[in-house]
Amino acid sequence: MRHTSNILTFLRLLLVPVFPAVYFSSHPKSHFIAICVFLAAGFTDFLDGYIARRYRMVTALGTVLDPFADKLMLLTVLITLYVSGPLPLWVVVLIVLKELFMIFSGAFLYFRKSKFVIPSNYFGKAATALLFPAIPIWIMVPGNLISVVLMLIAMVFMVAALVSYIHYYWRRREFL
């Protein structure tokens, strides 16, 4: 039980290549199955976070791998949707740049002597909460008004989260 949350994170990492493999397969229900893979990844994210906090099983490995797994799944899904045609490039570019910045800056800060981690904030959580329904809707009905609005609002929250993270880092830079 000690490493249950880390096992769930590894499971989520294993689901990352499954999403595009299923999405692009010739199976008649490929998009529905891909949505199930995406939702399963989201559920394991929720579950591993709950277990880690509830049972005080937060580990250094989980602190690094959990957001990495989330970002990798999100980027994979969005790139898959762009390659298949329905998602505009600017959405992918904005999210990819933001997420890559977060991955590299997070790794840089963590692997310094202080093991500094910028905590998640409400802007990032709100963006994720909006993307979670927007992506399945977008897969089922590409360009649907509801999914477009959810994506646009999520983009605003993502930019706000990025600005917030940069501000948080900037205020604490002398301690790093």
Between 94 and 22, where is the model more confident? Answer: 22
Q: How many residues does the chain have?
A: 176
Q: How does residue 43 score in pLDDT terms, banded at 50, 70 and 90?
A: very high
Q: Which CATH class is domain 4-175?
A: mainly alpha
User: 53-70: per-residue pLDDT in tens?
Assistant: 888 888 878 877 888 898
Residue at token pair 């590409």? 142
- The Cα-based distances of 10 to 3, 13, 84, 115, 116 in angstroms read 11, 5, 27, 21, 22
Backbone angle region of 143, left / alpha / beta, with phi > 0 → left and psi within -120 to 50 → alpha: left
Distance CA 89, CA 92 (A): 5
* Angle in degrees, CA 159, 82, 32, rounded to 5: 105
User: 83-124: per-residue pLDDT in tens?
Assistant: 998 788 988 888 888 887 777 777 777 677 566 666 778 998
Mean pLDDT of 72-85: 93
Residue 75 is which amino acid?
A: L
Helix axes 145-172, 122-140, angle to 10 degrees: 150
How confident is the model at residue 115, as a pLDDT? 65
How confident is the model at residue 167, as a pLDDT? 84
User: 113-155: per-residue pLDDT in tens?
Assistant: 566 666 778 998 899 889 889 999 999 998 889 988 998 999 9
